Homo-oligomer: A and B are copies of this chain.
Amino acid sequence: MFTQDMLPTVLRHEEIARYSDGVLYTLDRRKYPLRREYVALYSVEEVHTAIKEMVTQGGGPLELALKALLLARDGKRDLREASLILASSRPTNRTMANTLNVVLQRVEKGEALDDVISSILSEYDHAYDAMSEYGASLIKDGDGILTTCFAEHSFLLSVKKAYLAGKHVRVYVPETRPYLQGAKLTLPSLSEMGIESYLITDAMPAFFMQKGEVNIYMTASDAILPDGSVSNKIGTLENAICSKYYGIPYYPFSLKNSFNDDIRIEMRSPDEVLSVNGEYITDSSLNALYPAFDIIPPSLITGIVTKDGIL
């Protein structure tokens, strides 16, 4: 089992969601690593807004939503109403709604809320540990690894375990516009973990594939569809197609073995594409489009890394 000190700052439990006396604190991932600031949240509505505004991201929203139930309980709020408010913050990702439901069912059956949350977070940690064992086994000494966005525990622990096993690896990290999670989260996390890593723009992966410097592509995934497609951050499809073209294996990680049959691609605000860190990069009256996720068909996927093995 991995220890918290194997993780980079942004993935440690106390940084993602620390609940204390009616206040929920979360590291503001939008500002990290330039500034290390925490957002203090006092209600489930504030947690909903924080998640919608991407204060945290990836697995962060789920962990934050779970801890927000403590906020709701201590504020004498109805837990089921609180849970609906929290789940509505991420329409594309069903995991949050499902997990919050499980918590409510267990609490209604008599378990203590704190214990249920701890046991669910511990289950996740065990799943991450198992996934990263499989992930690390796919990485060879000398590999150049491409990723997209911020693939969190499963990916970062895979790379770390490969590294601790003596494999020399380097990671190419696309910046992941518009939110720049690659630049802000993945790159500093890898560096903090001692892994050779390089920031590139989102248009550069094929260049390094063509040169033979990328040998494996690994990402997170937001959902698996019934036909075996996965959804993940916009840009994953582009890289999966290029990986296929160059014969490079593509492995998404997935915590879920269940399938989502109804996937909605969130169209987010065009303003986010027209700006970087809140500053417009061009005339703000021009048009832009921001689909947040790609659907990657099974023909482009070498295997899905789950806690039970590689599908």
A residues in contact (CB < 8 Å) with B = 33-34, 148, 172, 174-178, 180, 183-184, 187-188, 191, 196-208, 210, 234-235, 237-239, 241-242, 244-245, 270, 273-274, 276-277, 279-283, 286-291, 294-295
Interface residue SS majority, chain A = mixed
Q: A175-B273, A177-B177, A206-B238 are in contact. Are A199 and B279 (CB under 8 A)?
A: no
Q: How many identical chains are in the complex?
A: 2
Complex contacts, A34 vs chain B, CB 8 Å: 280, 282-283
When distances are taken between beta carbons in the complex, the residues of chain B under 8 Å from A286 are 187-188, 191, 197, 199
Q: Which residues of B contact A204 (CB under 8 A)?
A: 234-235, 238, 289, 291
Complex alpha-carbon distance, A34 and B207, angstroms: 31
B281-A184 in contact (CB<8A): yes
Q: Do residues B289 and A200 form an inter-chain contact, with CB atoms below 8 A?
A: yes
A-B contact pairs, 24 of them (CB 8 A): A33-B282, A34-B282, A174-B203, A175-B177, A177-B202, A178-B201, A183-B281, A184-B281, A188-B283, A197-B287, A198-B288, A199-B286, A199-B287, A200-B289, A201-B235, A202-B202, A204-B234, A204-B289, A207-B238, A207-B291, A238-B238, A276-B276, A276-B277, A279-B279
